[in-house]
Structure 1
Amino acid sequence: MSKTTPRRRPLVAALTGAAALAMVAASAGGPASATDDEHVAQATRTTVFTRGEGGYHTFRIPALVEATDGTLLAFAQAKVDGPGDLGESDVVVKRSTDGGSTWGAMQVLAGGGSDDQWANAVPVVDATTGRIVLSMNYIDADADGEDVECGRAAATTYIQHSDDHGASWSDLVDITDMLNPGNWRRVSAGPGHGIQLTQGEHAGRLVIPGRHTYVEAGQTCTDSTGAGGHVRYSDDGGLSWQIGAVDEQGNPDLRPNEVSAVELADGRLYLNARDQGDTAGHRVDTTSSDGGETFDEPYDAVNGVVTSTIQGSVTRLPATAANPDRVILSVTNHPTAREKLTLWSSFDSGETWEPSYEVYDGPSAYSDLAVLDERRGNREVGVLFEGGERFYPGDQELTYHHDIYFTRVPERLLDVPTPPPAVTPDVAGDHDATISGTPGIVAGRFGRGLSLAGDYAELPLTDELSFGSEPFTAATWFRTDYLGNNQAILYAHDRFGPRWWIQVEPNSGNVIRAQISTDKGSTRTLTALGDFVDNEWHHVALVRDVDGVVLYVDGQVAATGASIGTGSVSAGARTGIRVGARVDGINAQFVGAIDEVWLFDTALTAEQVADLAATNSVQGATPVTHLPMKQITRQP
């Protein structure tokens, strides 16, 4: 039932401005990114799906398998109107017969003209027969998020299969009744690939990990935090399926979500899941010693991985005479941001982890893994992942799912150390800011500054820079004429929790806006009216004092607010302070130049702020950080 008919609705291309293009060109003249030259030279990347292709808006949720004849299959959720979780989407696939160098025409496997959502493609290869079994979810077009969470439109599970390595596919079969005990609400598999067990009494079993939600006692479906993990398996080549292991802890701080599985060297099943709760690293895991029929222990926090709240994938490189057994996890390497997709390695079957190889240092999100060419002994790790460039002029969509890329990583590169990051020095303390991207060095307000366009500098999370409930001052100079999106100048700690930030907002009339939010629920938002997207240098300072909050522009008071109380702006922070982007990713990118970033753990007076704007110096106050933004160096 597969077909290649493209969507009827074209994606409208965004207009771009000459100033934006010029800024991108200027930013390209900076230092090399933190990705090692050897990595770049030997791990090639191809684009499999790109935004707007075939009339679809965005392609998301990749899954990757290698068929028994060596053909690679890349699956995705093709979203019609936008990248959000719900909404009309199809399941599509592309095939590669040359190891991922080129990809064939897109096949639409499910959807293809209906208004419904087809999602979460999970392929699993039966190595005995060569059959590829594909699981996916279906949600009716009229369902909203509450309908799904309350079970009024629970996701329906379908399977289909291919006996010719993905060239053609069978009709879809509804297997929902095999998989839902009746009290589960949102039920889904993967995403990513499933596996076939190769050892023990259950050798040959097909395994697909999953997750579900349920309503806890005393709660309603709209406020329940009940989240569980499960395993679904088939012992007849994918014709019938049943639920095996189930974990339902009822713990709001540990909520397994999207999950991936791999068979360990000793035959156990290892499952690694996104945590939607509050574990430090946002990952949880468990094992099964009976082929997925029961869990050995409840899900628990993963040791050694710190990432954002995001899906990940696991696979395994078995031991050889030259290399130890290695379990591999692909997930982003940042506590809050969807970027820096990294392969992590475990040499003790998932007990501990260490970062091994940075696949992509830019915006990146969901991923899936496959061990390639294992039968021929030249092992590589195939990585299919969501990603994008740091900046697309005129495009206000998030960049981390602009495209779906494929990369082959040779096994030898997993032990090549990633070079230390580039930094811009802190001349007041020990808080050098890590550089991401390739910012250019340009004329600044005082000497030189940095030009940014999807690049940023990030200060570390330290006690000195976590101002808590105490007074503080944050100040800098900026210049921009880019009108494409609201732009983060300084952004601290969190997108939704305790935080503070300063932005220039073309979408709101070119104003400057600042916000302070605390862990006690208090928020103050200050707005400086005027046209500050004029390609002129402007000084901005945000001050929190016991008596109130003040926003200064060009040395003058621009807006004030009442005291925000005793709440903390950094409680529970997972990350530090960014210059030129939000902390949740390369989002709200600043496009222009920034110079002279100052941070104080005191509230500067109006006179001190005016002096700082005029002379780039302050009498009577000692900064905790001063980034002149004049140079970029490589840490030893």
Structure 2
Amino acid sequence: MGFLATLTLLLPVLQVYRGVGADVNSKLQVNPLVVEEQLLWVSQGAAAVNTFRIPLLTFTPQGSLLAFCEARKFSSSDMAAKFFAVRRSVDKGSTWSPMSFILDDGSLVDGLNLGVVVVDELAKSVILVYTWCFHQYHCSPSSVMMVESTDDGLSWSRPRNLSEQLGVKSFAPGPGLGIQKRHAPHRGRLVVCGHGTLAGDGVFCILSDDHGKTWVNGAALKSIPYNQPKQPLDFNPDECQPVELSDGSIMVNVRNQNNYHCQCRMVVRSLDGGKTLPVEELFFDHALIDPTVAAGMLEKEGMLYFTNPASTQQRVNLTLRWSLTNGKSWEKAPLQLWPGPSGYSCMTSLNSSMAEDRKFIFVLYERGHRDSVETVAFAKIHLYGGL
């Protein structure tokens, strides 16, 4: 057989080998660098708003970026009257629309609370799930609510009360991202996870198999003792962020509210599409030290990314970490996004086959000089920019 004939036969094999090698090599060479940064919201710098908190960030199915937060009107308290604020970018975060408000609870002390944003790629919609009257302070009962946009975030539906389907147990989604399952089991399912009240705390998930028309209660990982006052070091899972792994399981990264076992993150997996969170799948990630705060987590092309204030005592040192091993280990050179006071964070990326889009992830997080709630900052991160 001649050289050209042999080469023709080997070419498909070489292409496959080159593709595999490139994928492995790209994972090994991840070295993130912040290439763009902006302040999207500045607390006490806007009319009728005292504090901006609880950042959410997602791409729409059409490729626009949507950034959300709570606009707390009169104070920084969790139980302050609020707007839900949104800004939109059609150029992947380079420029942003002026702030607009989706919802307004008037002067109600315990009204709106964010919340999870979940994108339904199949139905081409964006769903915002939130709580009304979560703390049941001067109002009752607590209700899980949703609004939906089918026009790329330009307009939103009237609120729907999901408690007619789910019951009135206090449930605070997220805060962060929900997921739409891409793999079996239950491909296409919407999964939103969150937590309960401080007494009846734990991780709870709600599920929809019909693009958000109906919802059912799914997995529960309850605190111990459940529905009773907590003591330091009690088992108390709280705010959480799910991601789907390539094997179809759902990994949930959880705030360890009472520092049970460690001052670090809890991690638990669902193997059945969010129906259960078996204790056999629970572990404590000592590498992810944490001062009890909501954190960001993202799966992108077989890599896990994690953001939080990397400290055991204070909300400072907002840090990005990444794992090549589905969270079994983390690379030893994390990227510091902000050294000072910092708090909640949320991450997203654009699901795209375009080579340029595969290079970037995006983070929205709380940061300040004296206090972590002074601003909400946006960062665009080049995954290979530090090479």
TM-score after normalising by structure 1? 0.51
Report deviation, 1:238.
0.8
Report deviation, 1:154.
4.5
Q: Which residue of 2 aligns with 1:161?
A: 148
Instruction: Kindly indicate whether the alpha-carbon contact (under 8 Å) linking 2:222 and 2:237 is maintained by their aligned counterparts in 1.
Output: no
- Structure 1 segments of 4 or more deviating over 4 A? none
Q: Which residue of 2 aligns with 1:532?
A: none
Residue 254 in 1 paired to residue 235 in 2? Answer: yes
Q: Which residue of 2 aligns with 1:107?
A: 100
Pairwise CA RMSD: 2.2
Report deviation, 1:95.
0.5
**Within-5 A mapping of 1:83-232:** 83-111=76-104, 113-116=106-109, 117-139=111-133, 143-144=136-137, 153-180=140-167, 184=169, 186-213=170-197, 224=199, 226-232=200-206
Q: Which residue of 2 aligns with 1:352?
A: 329
Report deviation, 1:347.
2.2
Q: Provide the rounded CA distance (Å) in 1 between the counterparts of 2:58 and 2:353.
A: 14
- Over 3 Å counting, the alpha-carbon distance change for 1:49 and 1:203 in structure 2 is same
Task: Specify the SS of the correspondent of 1:54.
Answer: coil
Report deviation, 1:131.
0.5
Q: Provide the rounded CA distance (Å) in 1 between the counterparts of 2:345 and 2:355.
A: 24
Instruction: Kindly indicate whether the alpha-carbon contact (under 8 Å) linking 1:125 and 1:196 is maintained by their aligned counterparts in 2.
Output: yes
Report deviation, 1:268.
0.4
Q: Say which of 279, 284, 287 aligns to 1:301.
A: 284
Q: Provide the rounded CA distance (Å) in 1 between the counterparts of 2:60 and 2:223.
A: 37
Q: Provide the rounded CA distance (Å) in 2 between the counterparts of 1:50 and 1:254.
A: 36
Question: What percentage of aligned pairs have identical amino acids?
Answer: 28
Report deviation, 1:349.
1.6
Q: Deviation string for 1:437-468 (max 9, x for gaps)?
A: xxxxxxxxxxxxxxxxxxxxxxxxxxxxxxxx
Q: Which residue of 2 aligns with 1:341?
A: 318
The size of the alignment, in residue pairs, is: 343
Where do 5+ consecutive residues of structure 2 fail to align? 1-30
Q: Deviation string for 1:92-147 (max 9, x for gaps)?
A: 21101111122112221111634352111311111112111111111289x53xx7
Q: Say which of 296, 300, 311 aligns to 1:317.
A: 300
Comparing both chains, which one has the higher relative contact order based on Cα–Cα distances under 8 Å and sequence gaps of 6 or more? Answer: 2
Q: Provide the rounded CA distance (Å) in 2 between the counterparts of 1:84 and 1:283.
A: 25
**Within-5 A mapping of 1:173-572:** 173-180=160-167, 184=169, 186-213=170-197, 224=199, 226-250=200-224, 253-279=234-260, 280-297=262-279, 299-318=282-301, 325-354=302-331, 356-372=334-350, 374-378=352-356, 379=358, 380-388=360-368, 390-391=369-370, 399-413=371-385
Instruction: Kindly indicate whether the alpha-carbon contact (under 8 Å) linking 1:344 and 1:357 is maintained by their aligned counterparts in 2.
Output: yes
- Over 3 Å counting, the alpha-carbon distance change for 1:176 and 1:43 in structure 2 is same
Q: Deviation string for 1:41-89 (max 9, x for gaps)?
A: x421111111132320011001111011210000101101111111211
Mean alpha-carbon deviation: is it higher for 105-114 or for 234-243?
A: 105-114
Q: Provide the rounded CA distance (Å) in 1 between the counterparts of 2:274 and 2:175.
A: 17
Q: Provide the rounded CA distance (Å) in 2 between the counterparts of 1:140 and 1:244.
A: 19
Q: Which residue of 2 aligns with 1:531?
A: none
Q: Which residue of 2 aligns with 1:554?
A: none
- Over 3 Å counting, the alpha-carbon distance change for 1:407 and 1:373 in structure 2 is farther
Instruction: Kindly indicate whether the alpha-carbon contact (under 8 Å) linking 2:185 and 2:248 is maintained by their aligned counterparts in 1.
Output: no
Report deviation, 1:164.
0.7
Q: Say which of 40, 51, 56 aligns to 1:48.
A: 40
Report deviation, 1:315.
0.7
Q: Provide the rounded CA distance (Å) in 2 between the counterparts of 1:197 and 1:39.
A: 27
Task: Specify the SS of the correspondent of 2:213.
Answer: coil
TM-score after normalising by structure 2? 0.83
Instruction: Kindly indicate whether the alpha-carbon contact (under 8 Å) linking 2:81 and 2:105 is maintained by their aligned counterparts in 1.
Output: no
Q: Provide the rounded CA distance (Å) in 2 between the counterparts of 1:284 and 1:153.
A: 31
